[in-house]
A and B are shown apart, each in its own frame.
Chain A
Amino acid sequence: MKNFQGETLSWDLTDGVLEVTLHRPPCNEIGLHTLGDLERLAEAISALPDEIAAVVFSSAIEAGFSAGADLGQLYREMQGLDKPARLAGVREFLERIHRALNAIDAAGVVTIAAVHGICFGGGFELALVCDLIVADRTARFSFPELRLGLVPGFGGVPRLKRDVGNATVRDLLFTGRSINATKALEAGLVSQVVGEGQALRVARQTAQQARKFDRETVRAAKRFVKPVPYAELRQEIELFCELFARPAVEESLRKFVEGAGVLPYLP
């Protein structure tokens, strides 16, 4: 499928570059609908191996790339379910999102995330799936999950460990703070920092550069330099489910969703 207009994201294939645009208000929160669209995207990428050389992800939402998991939907889905059913539901969601993101991570194409504004939690995890991150000056990256008594569940920790030093991983996880694009560049997380509003343009240029090279060579090089940490990703799912079972998590979710935290985006 070379073109797709979904509820949460759309894509268009032109000259070997698949441009994926996230467009779910308020800030591309990742819930069941986004999961479905990501699964379709993973299928489309694998179905067109000779036609796609690069994939560029960007957001049409002014506030940023993505605010992360749709915690509101998660909380609502939990209501009325007993504990085993809740855990089963969360596990199923995680298994599905991991399959989709793992497929994109391992795809034999160059993937580029063009990030502006907030790139938090699950949104940060989506960006980390990509080979390159181009960030504009407004970009901020964060893993706030510990605030809810959880860890990142979409593969963020193994992928972040793949890209940056463990001290940076600990800083982000244990403080829940956000870092700006300059700090992310210094940490080796981001490959380019560009002017406000320029991330997509630069990502497109980068994709045009990347598509010049022999596809088989790119695939071989990618397998060599960017292995997918399958074992650790599996461990992350188990750890997330173990933590999610704790009563404190539901209370934290309730407070977040009901706005008891007045400043939800500050740690």
Chain B
Amino acid sequence: MRRTQFFGYNVTTPMPSRSLDEITAEILDLAARQFRVPRAELSAGDDFFKKLGIDSLQALDLLTRLEQHFHIELPDYELQGVSDFRTLAERIQARVE
């Protein structure tokens, strides 16, 4: 939801829904910044553990930042079987308002 002002009143309006491509791009941007990997080297189908060189501890850190960025709660068991950015984006899209 987006918060704006309307004649002095605080109102919330629905955010325009993001496409899967948009969400994937945001994940790649965030991951590149957090783990200092050149953004151009990341693509949707990459295995994020291998590409980012991260372990499960760092994956949890990424999860925390994704939750904050998208204003969602994503139980970490939802990451079971998820290793590429695009599938991660699908999980996130399902929880974004």
Contact = CB atoms under 8 A, between A and B. Distances in A.
Interface of A: 63, 117-118, 137-138, 140, 175-180, 182-183, 262-267
A260 to B, nearest CB: 13
A267 B76 contact: yes
Nearest to B79: A266
Interface residues of B, number: 15
Overall SS of chain B's interface: helix
Contacts of B64: 137-138, 140, 180
Interface in B7-65: 55-57, 59-61, 64
Contacts of B76: 177-178, 266-267
Given A140-B64, A175-B75, 20 more contacts: A118-B60, A137-B68, A138-B61, A175-B77, A177-B76, A178-B60, A179-B73, A180-B64, A180-B68, A182-B68, A263-B59, A265-B55, A265-B56, A265-B57, A266-B56, A266-B59, A266-B79, A266-B80, A267-B76, A267-B77
Q: Which of A118, A140, A263 has the most CB of B within 10 A?
A: A263
Contacts of A177: 75-77
A63 B67 contact: no
B77 A176 contact: yes
B19 to A, nearest CB: 25
